[in-house]
Amino acid sequence: MEYTGFEAAFDKLPQGYSTGTYNGRRFDLSVRRSRDGRRNSLFARELAGTDIISFNLYRFSSGKTSLKPCEMSAEKVVAFVLDFQPAT
């Protein structure tokens, strides 16, 4: 994967359920990670709208990763992860 900063930003997101903002809109967020860190997923839903972000991220023992967006572009997923601000 060649998205600068994407994996680091994803790794900073809290495991489980949380809320936050993206582009001035509130989202609820669910992040799941397998114990070995190889299988990861994110599902986010805009609280006052209809936008959804969903993807799976696979990490291989070779060090490579595979981003699998669910019915949306990889660019949309990457922009969300890079700019999402968890609620404090």
Full-model pTM = 0.92
Q: CA 75 → CA 35, 58, 61, 68, distances in Å?
A: 27, 17, 25, 11
Residue 2's pLDDT is: 57
Taking 90 as the threshold, does the pLDDT of residue 3 lie above it? no
Residues 80 and 87: their CA atoms lie apart, in Å, by 15
Q: pLDDT digits over 36-83, tens only?
A: 999 999 999 999 999 999 999 999 999 899 999 999 999 999 999 999
Q: Identify whether the C-beta of residue 20 lies closer than 8 Å to the C-beta of residue 11.
A: no
